[in-house]
């Protein structure tokens, strides 16, 4: 029984087809890794699964928890339990982080809490992540460093407890401190929510602490290889050249 089932998916912008005939399935609680050279289409796949209106699906389906979400908006997908960490999170001036978190929580009946319970829950998560609570009164992502934005995403992840978290290079360009918060966030998510993960990453260090069930390789908008966790070591040692050559040969 698959949680996420993407089948025959082709998508892109108005004038730029980016993804071609993508098939990928993730079962509940599994950890999958998506790798590929720059510009392969990894982020686009994350955004298309999340329902980013920038991209149009030209064929194929996106099913999640038994529902066909292909034509649904991002809000509905988020409520269904899909979470995407953006490579570049948006800044929302005028909205303190705490209010933002309260608002997104209140949209979810399964997360119904009193104001007091909510305060306690957010405080506990901040502690777990070793996050300074002064963050909570700051405007969402405004003037936050890359590392701080990632910490906030981990806070959202642990608060929302999605069924599937797609983390797009959540670990890129982070200092040691931020990287440890992200690792801790991912571990806590796996431990407390038993949620599924689709990790888009180049950093094999962050993967060391995770049990990876499946690895996917994307080249030029196509998934060209799929294998066990050992595929990551292979890519670590040899890069993507083999896959790029094969893609070239296929035309
Ligand atoms: P990756 O995450 O694997 O590095 P992306 O998904 O960001 O790759 O990009 C894949 C390709 O699609 C790139 O050539 C990129 O320029 C193009 N692309 C992505 N988003 C857009 C967009 N909104 N408009 C036009 N082209 C885009
Ligand atoms: Mg197919
Ligand atoms: Mg990307």
The Cα 38–Cα 42 span in angstroms is: 8
146 pLDDT more than 80: no
Q: Are 149 and 170 in contact (CB under 8 A)?
A: no
- 3-39 pLDDT tens trace: 999 999 999 999 999 999 999 999 999 999 999 999 9
Q: Nearest C-alpha to atom 24 of ligand 1 is from which residue?
A: 13
Q: Probe ligand 1: pick from 9, 18, 47, max atoms within 8 Å of CB?
A: 18
User: Is any atom of ligand 1 closer than 6 Å to the C-beta of 39?
Assistant: yes
The Cα 75–Cα 169 span in angstroms is: 22
Quick one: pLDDT at residue 170?
67
Quick one: pLDDT at residue 172?
66
User: Is any atom of ligand 1 closer than 6 Å to the C-beta of 114?
Assistant: no
HSE at residue 219, side-chain half, CA atoms within 13 A, is 18
pTM for this predicted structure: 0.93
The Cα 55–Cα 168 span in angstroms is: 17
155 pLDDT more than 80: yes
**Gyration radius of the chain over CA positions:** 18
% the chain with pLDDT above 70 = 96
The residue ranking higher by pLDDT, 82 or 140, is: 82
The residue ranking higher by pLDDT, 89 or 72, is: 72
% the chain with pLDDT above 90 = 65
- Supply the mean pLDDT for the chain: 90
Using pLDDT thresholds of 50, 70 and 90, give the confidence band for residue 131: confident
Domain span holding position 146? 2-250
Q: Which atom of ligand 1 is nearest to the CA of 36?
A: 3
Number of H helices, E strands in the chain: 9, 12
Q: Are 47 and 83 in contact (CB under 8 A)?
A: no
**Number of independent structural domains in the chain:** 1
HSE at residue 115, side-chain half, CA atoms within 13 A, is 2
Quote the ipTM score. Answer: 0.96
88 pLDDT more than 80: no
Q: If you search the block for the tokens 């670590």, which residue do you land on?
A: 236
Q: Are 19 and 178 in contact (CB under 8 A)?
A: no
Using pLDDT thresholds of 50, 70 and 90, give the confidence band for residue 87: low
> Residue 33: which H helix or E strand, with range?
strand 31-35
Q: What is the CATH number of the domain that holds 148?
A: 3.40.50.300
Q: What is the mean pLDDT of residues 97-102?
A: 90
The Cα 103–Cα 31 span in angstroms is: 29
First to last CA, the chain: 34
Q: Probe ligand 1: pick from 41, 86, 170, max atoms within 8 Å of CB?
A: 41
- 173-230 pLDDT tens trace: 777 877 888 888 998 999 888 899 999 987 777 777 788 999 999 999 999 999 999 9
Q: Which atom of ligand 1 is nearest to the CA of 47?
A: 6
The Cα 178–Cα 172 span in angstroms is: 10
Beta strands 67-68; 139-140: pairing state? unpaired
The residue ranking higher by pLDDT, 223 or 171, is: 223
The Cα 117–Cα 119 span in angstroms is: 5
Question: Helix, strand, coil proportions of the chain in percent (round to 5)?
Answer: 40, 30, 30
């Amino acid at each position: 029984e698959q949680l996420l089932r993407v089948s025959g998916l082709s998508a892109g912008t108005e004038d730029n087809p980016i993804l071609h005939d993508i098939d990928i399935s993730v079962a509940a609680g599994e950890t999958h890794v998506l790798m590929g050279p720059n510009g392969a289409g990894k982020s686009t796949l994350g955004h298309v699964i999340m329902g980013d209106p920038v991209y149009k699906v030209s064929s194929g389906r996106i099913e999640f928890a038994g529902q066909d979400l292909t034509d649904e908006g991002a809000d509905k997908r988020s409520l269904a339990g899909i979470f995407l960490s953006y490579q570049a999170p948006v800044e929302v001036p005028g909205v303190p982080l705490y209010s933002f978190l309260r608002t997104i929580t209140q949209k979810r009946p399964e997360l119904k809490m009193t104001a007091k319970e909510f305060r306690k829950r957010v405080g506990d998560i901040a502690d777990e992540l070793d996050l300074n609570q002064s963050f909570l009164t700051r405007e969402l992502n405004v003037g936050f460093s890359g590392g701080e934005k990632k910490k906030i995403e981990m806070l959202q992840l642990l608060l929302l407890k999605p069924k599937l978290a797609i983390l797009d290079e959540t670990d890129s360009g982070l200092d040691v401190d931020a990287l440890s918060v992200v690792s801790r966030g991912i571990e806590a998510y796996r431990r407390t929510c038993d949620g599924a993960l689709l990790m888009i990453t180049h950093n094999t260090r962050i993967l060391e602490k995770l049990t990876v069930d499946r690895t996917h390789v994307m080249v030029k908008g196509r998934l060209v290889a799929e294998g066990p966790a050992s595929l990551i070591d292979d890519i670590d040692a040899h890069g993507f050249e083999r896959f790029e050559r094969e893609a070239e040969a296929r035309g």
